[in-house]
Chain A
């Protein structure tokens, strides 16, 4: 049997269980409480907010816990049906009927399991609401609820994609920790509803709505922030035609590689911005050096090497970038300590620095410069692998290769216009010149890490050689736009 067939069977059996639970519950509940609960679940699902990519924050499980406490499992099972209409009006996420069916079914089954747990543990432990023993029973019910919920969803994800069940289930730990506040809020709601009045819920709603407002406003702000940083980067790159778009590509690919290596969301977010800004210090390098058509002399190369430090000077007082400012500071350092400008060795380079360093070099190789066409993906990866362990961190190179293959990353070779080329053709990477030009320093971007040490470290291999080759190519072919005019 094939994957899709298993998926259909899985969803059908989940739905069957859910229908049995609903058939059992419907005769046991009163009309008005059920309708209230259905509306409450609908509202909770409708206003679920995207906490961040693919993580929805919703109060549905709080509503279902309250239903269990107020009216037993049967009320919760019926209330879970409120997620059906919510699914069709929600702005985020897919809308297929099959998804609605599965989603509602898993809510119903989770509610039934949690309700049964609460009843059983309540009978076992005794106690009267709201003492410690009933609170324990509520906590147990919440844990069972989210375990059931997560296993069912992880199952469907594992069947629908090729991911292993355990991979999908991995995120259940943090989600269980989130149950603690949910239990508290559920208990609070029950106390207010049972012992005071419905209007008391308004007091609870105020902070919760403000929290939602804050998170939504933050998401908008984060997008505005991204536009801000991108505009500045674009404005800086405007002078250097050959690296246009470089920072954005490095940022995008670095985040993907970080994801591949299991870096957390918050660190990925900082990496996105730090990688966008990694070359911002180039603004302090005179344009005549950046665009110089040929090898740099010692003084010019020294100026070029200052750009990470200048970048740090510019960005140093942005508080939230501060933990990852090393990405800007060290993005031309090498694992073996032969990089610039500080020459620190591998143990001082954090995982994120290693990622951006490797991606920076990779993008420099796979984008077209005026003096050669972009290298193919396979060629660039081969070069990275040859320098793995000396210039780049092996685990990062491996993750980069996997990522590039997975997303089908393409070399960038379309942006250099005919006008810029002055009618000339871009030559392919000139292998012969590569060999002849060892030890010459270049003003390149990206992979020019450790250009100054190539002479003394011939083992450094192809990237350094290729880079120097590029400078030879520059000497022969590269014309700055100013000269052409």
Chain B
């Protein structure tokens, strides 16, 4: 069942997107969204989409969100049919990969194509439902024009539809916590998506006036947004990477095996996700897992330290930072891991302690007996069966049955 669910979800996403695109013809919106692009315009859109493919916005988790969607959205609003925008989106991605000498990912080609196809379908729905085309009433020159209903539909598609589809088709954890994952994906993407949607609307609005000048000018505000968000994402990555680097400080003192902090953090992330914690708590738990031995740099070196002292000393170091109070609370909570309630630092602390024990005493799956022993000891020691069961599921999917 667990293996089947992701494929089922992907199938549903594909089906919905495919049907949405065909609505473009079924609703017969050709005269509302009349094609206002010539062949040379379409080539320019292809060039612009390729350029924007090379300029994605990197979020804090390192994932690149493509900004080429702004160009695709503008083409959709200017009446290009699903076939045309799908071709532009997929070709732009392929060209960008070829130019940059990067590996083509078939999944992403499909993603671009399906996204563009579904977006034009959404625009058709909006055009059929929404108010009439807005047109500037001016005396001189061509008026700017935009179909408001289609524009709103494209906005909703970019802000909600595409991130939701992306997170549904990426889910390899099956259907658990599906709603939360979709919500978090939409939230994570919101600033980039808002910039992209506004840019698409702006491009469609000014195209009747600016013609060939549309693309270079409409992308300027988006480029500014990219500069700001990219820098922010870079800063957030630097912060997290520095915390990971600092997990190696206690390892240099000799009493902690190399890579322990990073391994515990990986395990803790998996367990926290498995338990369905929200994104912020997962992030705090992972940071605390990286830094759970940090107290050693404050204690006397080369002397084994009891967990209580370690927890308190680690908390002290982290409180000095001033921005890591939640993480400090989790690290401190290791000292009294059994007594704390589930909310607050209690649950994350139990996750960190369990992952630490497992990595310290049974780091590989070569000795299943050792692993079972650690699991049993954890059940007695931290008394949180959910945490231990989740950990057991992650290190050995078969172990779940035994525990049950």
List, in ascending order, chain B residues with CB within 8 A of A212's CB: 228
How far apart are the CA atoms of A228 and B327 in the complex, in Å? Answer: 13
In chain A, positions 186-241 with a C-beta closer than 8 Å to chain B are: 187-188, 191-192, 194-197, 200, 202-204, 206-208, 210-215, 217-218, 221-222, 224-225, 227-229, 231-232, 234-236, 238-239
Query: Contact: B217 with A188, CB < 8 Å?
Result: yes
CB contacts (< 8 Å) of B213 on chain A: these are 130, 135, 187
Least distance between B69 CB and chain A CB atoms (Å): 13
Q: Look across to chain A and name the residue whose beta carbon is closest to the beta carbon of B204.
A: A203
- B interface footprint on A408-439 (CB within 8 Å = 1, 0 otherwise): 00000000000000000000000000000000
Nearest residue, chain A, Cβ from B231: A218
Contacts of A211 in B (CB 8 A): 221, 224-229
Does any Cβ of A come within 8 Å of B206's Cβ? yes
Pairwise interchain contact A314-B252, C-beta atoms closer than 8 A: yes
Verify A207–B201 contact, CB threshold 8 A: no
Which of A188, A217, A310, A315 lies in contact with B218, CB distance below 8 A? A188
Contact check, B235 vs A222: say whether CB atoms are below 8 A apart. Answer: yes
Q: How far is the CA of A225 from the CA of B323 in the complex (A)?
A: 9
- Taking a contact as CB atoms closer than 8 A, the residue among A204, A221, A239 that contacts B232 in the complex is A221
Residue of B nearest to A180 (CB): B220
> Do A225 and B317 touch (CB < 8 A)?
no
State whether the Cβ of B195 lies closer than 8 Å to any Cβ in chain A.
Answer: yes
Are A130 and B210 in contact (CB-based, < 8 A)? yes
Which of A213, A218, A222 is within 8 Å of B191, CB to CB? A213
Residues in A whose Cβ lies below 8 Å from that of B201: 203
Contacts of A458 in B (CB 8 A): none
Contact mask for chain B residues 194-208; partner A; CB cutoff 8 A; 1 contact, 0 none: 110011011001101
Name the CB-closest residue of A to B240.
A318
Q: Is the CB of A231 within 8 A of B317?
A: yes
Which residues of A sit under 8 angstroms from B322, Cβ to Cβ? Answer: 224, 227, 231
Given the known inter-chain contacts A192-B205, A196-B143, please indicate yes or no for A318 contacting B241, CB distance below 8 A: yes
B396 to chain A: closest CB distance in Å? 28
Closest to A212 in B: B228
Chain B residue at minimum C-beta to C-beta distance from A128: B141
**Residues of A within 8 Å of B, CB-based: how many?**
60
The B-contacting residues of A in range 111-134, CB under 8 angstroms, are 128-130
Contact check, B245 vs A318: say whether CB atoms are below 8 A apart. Answer: yes
Considering the complex, give the chain B residue whose CB is closest to the CB of A206: B198
A184 at the interface (CB under 8 A from B): yes
> In whole angstroms, how far apart are the Cα atoms of A222 and B143 in the complex?
45
Size category, B interface? 35 or more
Closest chain A CB from B56 CB (angstroms) = 15
Which residues from B are CB-within-8-Å of A320?
234, 237-238, 241
One of A13-21, A24-32, A280-288 at the interface: A280-288
Contact of B298 among A192, A224, A235 (CB under 8 A): A235
Who on chain A is nearest to B239 by CB? A225
B319 — nearest CB in chain A belongs to which residue? A231
Interface class of chain A by DSSP = helix
> Contact: B249 with A236, CB < 8 Å?
yes
- The distance in angstroms between the C-alpha atoms of A316 and B248, with both chains bound, is 11
State the CA gap A195–B140 with chains docked (Å).
8
A228 touches B217 (CB 8 A): no
Contact B323 A188 (CB under 8 A): no
Q: Does A181 contact B (CB under 8 A)?
A: yes
A229 to B241, CA, bound (A): 12
Which residues in B have their C-beta under 8 angstroms from that of A206?
194-195, 198, 221
> In the complex, are the beta carbons of B253 and A210 less than 8 A apart?
no
Contacts of B208 in A (CB 8 A): 195
Chain A 299-341 interface 0/1 with B at a Cβ cutoff of 8 Å (1 = within): 0000000000010011111111100000000000000000000
Q: Kindly state whether residue B64 has any CB partner on chain A within 8 Å.
A: no
Distance of A192 Cα from B238 Cα, bound (Å): 39
The residue from A188, A195, A210 contacting B142, defined by CB atoms under 8 A apart: A195
- Inter-chain contact B144/A315, CB cutoff 8 Å: no
Query: CB within 8 Å of B: which of A137-152?
Result: none
How many pairs, one residue from A and one from B, have CB atoms within 8 Å of each other in the complex?
Answer: 193
The answer to whether A227 and B223 have CB atoms under 8 Å apart is: no
Known contacts A224-B323, A228-B321, A228-B323; is A188 also within 8 Å of B238 by CB? no
A185 at the interface (CB under 8 A from B): yes
Nearest-neighbour CB distance to chain A for B199, whole angstroms, equals 6
Residue of B nearest to A316 (CB): B245
Partner of B144, one of A187, A192, A236: A192
CA distance A130 to B225 in the complex (A): 25
Q: Is B343 an interface residue (CB 8 A)?
A: no
Which of A184, A227, A286, A321 has the most chain B CB atoms inside 10 A of its CB?
A: A184
Asked if A184 contacts B228 (CB within 8 A), the reply is no
**Residues in B whose Cβ lies below 8 Å from that of A197:** 134, 136
Task: Give Cα A184–Cα B210 distance, bound, in whole angstroms.
Answer: 11
On chain B, the residues within 8 Å of A281 by CB distance are: 252
Cα A67 to Cα B160 in complex, Å, equals 37
Of B202, B213, B227, B234, most buried by chain A (CB within 10 Å of CB) is B202
A272 vs B200: C-alpha distance in the bound complex, in angstroms?
40
Using Cβ atoms and an 8 Å threshold, which residues of chain B touch A314? Answer: 245-246, 248-249, 252
Residues of B within 8 A of A280 (CB): 249
Q: How far is the CB of B50 from chain A (nearest CB, A)?
A: 20
* A214-B229, A228-B239, A320-B234 known; A195 vs B191 contact (CB < 8 Å): no
Q: Which residues of B contact A283 (CB under 8 A)?
A: 249, 252-253, 297
> Is there an interface contact between A215 and B231, defined as CB atoms closer than 8 Å?
yes
Q: Is the CB of A184 within 8 A of B217?
A: yes
Distance in angstroms from B191 CB to nearest chain A CB is 5
- Assuming A181-B220, A204-B202, A234-B320, is B225 touching A214 (CB within 8 A)? yes
Is B301 at the interface (CB under 8 A from chain A)?
yes
Partner of A313, one of B235, B248, B323: B248
Determine whether the beta carbon of B297 is less than 8 Å from that of A235.
yes
Per the bound structure, the CA–CA distance linking A224 and B248 in Å amounts to 21
Q: A222 to B239: give the CA distance in the assembly, Å.
A: 9
Query: Is A214 a contact of B323 with CB atoms below 8 Å?
Result: no
The answer to whether residues A214 and B228 also contact, given A130-B210, A207-B195, A317-B241 and a CB cut-off of 8 A, is yes
* Interchain CA distance A222-B248 in the complex, whole Å: 22
Interface contact A210-B191, CB-CB below 8 Å: yes
Cβ–Cβ < 8 Å partners of A227 in chain B: 321-323
Residue B244 is within 8 A (CB to CB) of chain A in the complex: yes
A280 CA to B246 CA, complexed, in Å: 10
B136: chain A residues within 8 A (beta carbon): 194-197
Taking the nearest CB of chain A, how far is it from the CB of B380, in angstroms? 34
A194 touches B138 (CB 8 A): yes
A→B interface (CB under 8 Å)? 128-130, 135, 181, 184-185, 187-188, 191-192, 194-197, 200, 202-204, 206-208, 210-215, 217-218, 221-222, 224-225, 227-229, 231-232, 234-236, 238-239, 280-281, 283-284, 286-287, 310, 313-321
| Closest 4 pairs between A and B when the two form their complex, measured CB to CB | A214-B228, A284-B252, A206-B198, A196-B144
Q: Could you jot down 19 A-B contacts, CB within 8 Å? A: A184-B220, A188-B206, A192-B144, A195-B208, A196-B136, A200-B144, A204-B221, A206-B198, A211-B225, A214-B191, A222-B235, A224-B239, A224-B323, A225-B235, A235-B320, A314-B245, A314-B246, A314-B249, A320-B238
Given A130-B213, A181-B223, 7 new contacts (CB under 8 A): A187-B217, A194-B136, A195-B209, A206-B198, A210-B225, A213-B228, A319-B237
